[in-house]
Amino acid sequence: MKKPVLSCKGPVPQDMLEILMNGIFAFAMTLIVKNNIPLPSGNVSEDIYFFIEFFFSIFFDGFSFIFTFILLAIFYILAFEIMRHCVSVDRICVYLVFGFLLTIIFIPLSSLLWSISDAPIPYGILFHANILISGLTLLCLWVYIFNSPGILFKGMSQEYIKNLSFRIGIFPLTALIGILIDGNEISFGIIPIIILYLIPIAICVRNSRDF
């Protein structure tokens, strides 16, 4: 008996998996808008002073929104850099992608809990833990793909592999530093979270390569 001819390699078509990734990231980015930019409550007025007051009330929340959005955007770029260099996806690869997407869904919640928390435990370090798990899961995905000759595109240079590995690994490292700093009542908040993660974001953007 002849084996059935499969329409794609692996348990899930790679393009459909990437569409799912797009949807999850879009969902997470929508949630951070809802969490960080509240709609005006009470009686809405057309008076210009009402809009000025509302604008200033969300000004600082806007910084939190932009920060979380950029962080999600960096994870999005890194994830798709990995997927763009795959010739196919196997079952383990699919499981790792689902695990990574699960951690991404929780970033809007953990960032919201961080913004309303004034103590290190438990919510103070939850955001750092979320980024740590997201980064480690993405790193595991990359390491698995890198060590799977049947999945990784053969035309990648060693320089690019090291570059991408560095850009992925810097985020869980930063999150670990954040846990050590913000996990202690004495040092909690000594480095603002936006400044802490601005460093790996800047490094990641600076070292991005199109090859």
The rounded distance, in Å, linking the Cα atoms of 130 and 78 is: 17
Print the SS3 string covering 182-204. Answer: HCCCCCCCCCCHHHHHHHHHHHH
The predicted structure's pLDDT at residue 25: 96
How confident is the model over 32-63, as pLDDT tens digits? 877 665 555 555 555 666 566 666 666 556 67
Regions of the chain short of the pLDDT cut 50: 1-7
* Structural contact between residues 129 and 46, judged by C-beta atoms closer than 8 angstroms: no
The predicted structure's pLDDT at residue 84: 87
The predicted structure's pLDDT at residue 125: 81
* Structural contact between residues 151 and 87, judged by C-beta atoms closer than 8 angstroms: yes
The predicted structure's pLDDT at residue 5: 40
* CA-wise closest residue to 23 among 131, 101, 136: 101
Q: How far is CA 193 from the centre of its chain?
A: 15
The predicted structure's pLDDT at residue 48: 65
- The model carries a pTM of 0.82
The predicted structure's pLDDT at residue 171: 95
Q: Would you kindly state where each structural domain of the chain is located, as residue ranges?
A: 25-37+57-206
The predicted structure's pLDDT at residue 39: 56
